[in-house]
């Protein structure tokens, strides 16, 4: 009887049911689109952050910035003075530690011993500046008279020096010393070896190098080529391509070789840390800061604060304005559905009063009204899911491009890495990445939509059921014409 009456009433009131369902559908669709876009923002930000530190890295440890250190140092280049008239090319390399702040290699062991740390590995960030060129001796030419000058230098031939000078080229690139005994952790893991091979665990002091593909192309390097750093020749054994964004460094060499080149024996600039449980990252960070003095711990959450540009703006809109807007629209849809259902009940006073006069109890009338509202809610849920999926698909199909600008900064404690996350040092402030926005719809989002549909039906049914339960059979007699 319940379903028969329900089917008949919904068929008879199709227009009213469609209005209620449509209102709920719009609210549910907006929630789905906002939630899927927010998820897409999160994935886009993860893509940006993933390009700044090694895969599997949960946090990095760098030396705490000292207020007495200005983080600057002028490189000096020494060239020999020659008086043999030769114009032979000269060159001078300067290998500098990025940030000029280092930690003792023993700190890696201290960090690795903290509760909640699964593994820790150190690395050394270097910047190499090479100046090469030649001096050309100028020629002294006397004046046309060929006489001598009568000025302060009387008796000296008069004339001027013409030609000569110096022409030098400056080449700057980044070098990262990696611990080859732990290849699963560190910034090199965010790149893929596309030619040649990676380091082996036995090449701790090997004069071998892996070169980023962009730098290799710029300098015409390939597997088997030779790369000289501060007079030391390294054999290129592999070419690496960053999975996303910019690479961690231009050149990767074994850590011991990097320490030798920089005269920084048993020193590291960055410690990459893997936690035993991703849910314990905050507690691990607190433990390291408490037990390992003089360090700064940076997590991906800290690094996310340095991401600006249209990605950051869009993410902020999606998480604040978008969610609040969807909540307001959803609440409005629920209220409208409830009011429309209540209004429909008021127009059915004679019907419900007659049913009560025939023996229907108030509870049965209420259940009938709630049942109709639930069907309207589920219908609105189906329409809302369809509209939401269509909206999310449209966003993914268009794939608007957002820019993420990585602010330089203090997240790395002064030794900075790419993006300040303590990775191999680069100028983070100049980095801008283009990220395509998608709007993935997860099963949880669909489940949320179904829940909202049921909730909408219950809200509408509560309004109408409360109104129906208050009707009396006498009301029906007053409406009889």
pLDDT digits (tens, 9 = 90+) for 255-290: 999 999 988 899 999 999 988 887 788 899 999 999
Helix (H) or strand (E) holding 379: helix 362-398
Listed in order, strand segments (DSSP E) in 243-378 are: 251-254, 267-268, 270-275, 295-299, 307-308
Distance in angstroms (rounded) separating the CA atoms of residues 304 and 404: 10
Residue 425 has pLDDT above 50, yes or no: no
pLDDT classification of 243: cutoffs 50, 70, 90:
confident
From the centroid of its chain, how far is CA 411? 14
Looking up tokens 């020659």, which residue turns up? 82
Residue 288 CB partners (closer than 8 Å, separation 6+) = 59, 61, 111, 114, 117, 273, 295, 297
More confident residue, 201 or 79: 201
Backbone angle region of 277, left / alpha / beta, with phi > 0 → left and psi within -120 to 50 → alpha: beta
| Contact criterion met (CB below 8 Å) for 124 and 269 | yes
Residue 365 has pLDDT above 80, yes or no: no
Give the count of beta carbons closer than 10 Å to the beta carbon of residue 157: 13
pLDDT, position 70? 47
Q: What is the mean pLDDT of residues 87-97?
A: 72
Residue 22 CB partners (closer than 8 Å, separation 6+) = 380, 383
Residue by residue, DSSP assigns 425-465 as ---GGGEEEEEE------HHHHHHHHHHHHHHHHHHHHHHH
Residue 462 CB partners (closer than 8 Å, separation 6+) = 338, 370
Give the chain's length.
481
Choose from 146-155, 331-340, 371-380, 429-438 the range with maximum mean pLDDT.
Answer: 371-380
pLDDT, position 197? 94
Residue 108 tokens read as 């890696």
Distance in angstroms (rounded) separating the CA atoms of residues 455 and 451: 6
Closest CA to 262 of 230, 214, 215: 230
Closest CA to 186 of 275, 61, 54: 54
- Cα angle at 33 between 28 and 35, to 5 degrees? 90
pLDDT classification of 13: cutoffs 50, 70, 90:
confident
Distances (CA, A) of 397 to 35, 437, 439: 17, 10, 9
Alpha-helical (H) ranges within 96-156 are: 106-112
pLDDT, position 428? 36
Residue 343 CB partners (closer than 8 Å, separation 6+) = none
Closest CA to 215 of 424, 429, 432, 54: 424
Among 13-22, 295-304, 419-428, whose mean pLDDT is lowest? 419-428
**pLDDT tens digit sequence for 205-239:** 999 999 999 999 999 999 999 998 888 999 999 99
Residue 311 has pLDDT above 60, yes or no: no
3-state secondary structure 49-74: HHCCCCCCCCEEEEECCCCCCCCCCC
Helix (H) or strand (E) holding 36: helix 14-50
pLDDT, position 479? 53
Helix (H) or strand (E) holding 44: helix 14-50
Residue 173 has pLDDT above 70, yes or no: yes
The model's pTM: 0.56
The domain segmentation of the chain, as residue ranges, is 2-50+310-479, 65-77+88-132+166-293
Give the count of beta carbons closer than 10 Å to the beta carbon of residue 421: 30
Distance in angstroms (rounded) separating the CA atoms of residues 308 and 158: 63
More confident residue, 275 or 418: 275
**Could you give the 3-state DSSP secondary structure of residue 5?**
helix
pLDDT classification of 411: cutoffs 50, 70, 90:
very low
| Contact criterion met (CB below 8 Å) for 211 and 250 | yes
pLDDT classification of 409: cutoffs 50, 70, 90:
very low
From the centroid of its chain, how far is CA 431? 13
**pLDDT tens digit sequence for 142-172:** 666 555 555 555 556 666 766 666 666 777 8
| Contact criterion met (CB below 8 Å) for 228 and 130 | no
């Amino acid at each position: 009887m319940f379903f028969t009456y329900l089917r008949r009433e919904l068929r008879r009131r199709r227009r009213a049911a469609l209005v209620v369902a449509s209102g709920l559908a719009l609210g549910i669709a907006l929630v789905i689109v906002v939630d899927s876009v927010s998820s897409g923002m999160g994935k886009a930000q993860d893509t940006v952050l993933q390009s700044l530190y090694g895969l599997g890295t949960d946090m990095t440890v760098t030396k705490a910035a000292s207020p007495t250190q200005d983080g600057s140092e002028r490189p000096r280049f020494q060239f020999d003075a020659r008086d043999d008239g030769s114009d032979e090319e000269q060159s001078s390399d300067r290998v500098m530690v990025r940030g000029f702040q280092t930690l003792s290699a023993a700190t890696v062991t201290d960090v690795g011993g903290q509760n909640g740390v699964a593994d820790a590995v150190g690395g050394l960030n270097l910047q190499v500046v090479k100046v090469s060129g030649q001096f050309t001796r100028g020629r002294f030419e006397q004046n046309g008279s060929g006489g001598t000058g009568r000025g302060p230098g009387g008796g000296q031939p008069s004339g001027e020096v013409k030609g000569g000078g110096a022409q030098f080229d400056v080449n700057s690139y980044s070098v990262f010393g990696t611990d080859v005994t732990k290849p699963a952790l560190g910034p090199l893991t965010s790149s893929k070896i596309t030619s040649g091979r990676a380091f082996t665990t036995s090449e701790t002091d090997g004069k071998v190098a892996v070169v980023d593909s962009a730098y290799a192309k710029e300098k015409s390097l390939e597997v088997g080529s030779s790369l000289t750093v501060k007079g030391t020749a390294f054999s290129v054994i592999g070419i690496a391509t960053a999975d996303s964004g910019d690479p961690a460094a231009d050149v990767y060499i074994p850590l011991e070789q990097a320490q030798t080149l920089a005269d920084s024996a048993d020193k590291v600039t960055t410690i990459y840390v893997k936690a035993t449980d991703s849910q314990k990252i905050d507690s691990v960070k607190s433990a390291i800061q408490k037990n390992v003095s003089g360090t700064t711990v940076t997590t991906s959450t800290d690094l996310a604060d340095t991401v600006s540009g249209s990605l950051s703006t869009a993410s902020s809109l999606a998480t604040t304005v978008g969610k609040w807007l969807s909540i307001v629209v959803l609440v409005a849809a629920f209220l409208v559905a409830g009011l429309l259902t209540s209004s429909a009940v008021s127009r059915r006073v004679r019907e419900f009063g007659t049913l009560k006069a025939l023996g229907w109890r108030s509870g049965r009338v209420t259940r009938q009204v709630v049942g109709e509202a639930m069907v309207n809610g589920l219908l609105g849920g189906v329409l809302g899911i369809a509209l939401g999926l269509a909206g999310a698909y449209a966003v993914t199909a268009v794939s608007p491009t957002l820019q993420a600008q990585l602010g330089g900064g203090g997240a790395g404690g002064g030794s900075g890495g790419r993006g300040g996350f303590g990775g191999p040092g680069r100028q983070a402030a100049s980095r801008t990445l283009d990220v395509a926005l998608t709007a993935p719809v997860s099963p949880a989002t669909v489940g949320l939509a179904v829940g909202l549909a049921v909730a909408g039906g219950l809200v509408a049914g509560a309004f109408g059921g409360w109104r129906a339960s208050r009707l009396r059979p006498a009301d029906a007699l007053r409406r009889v014409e």
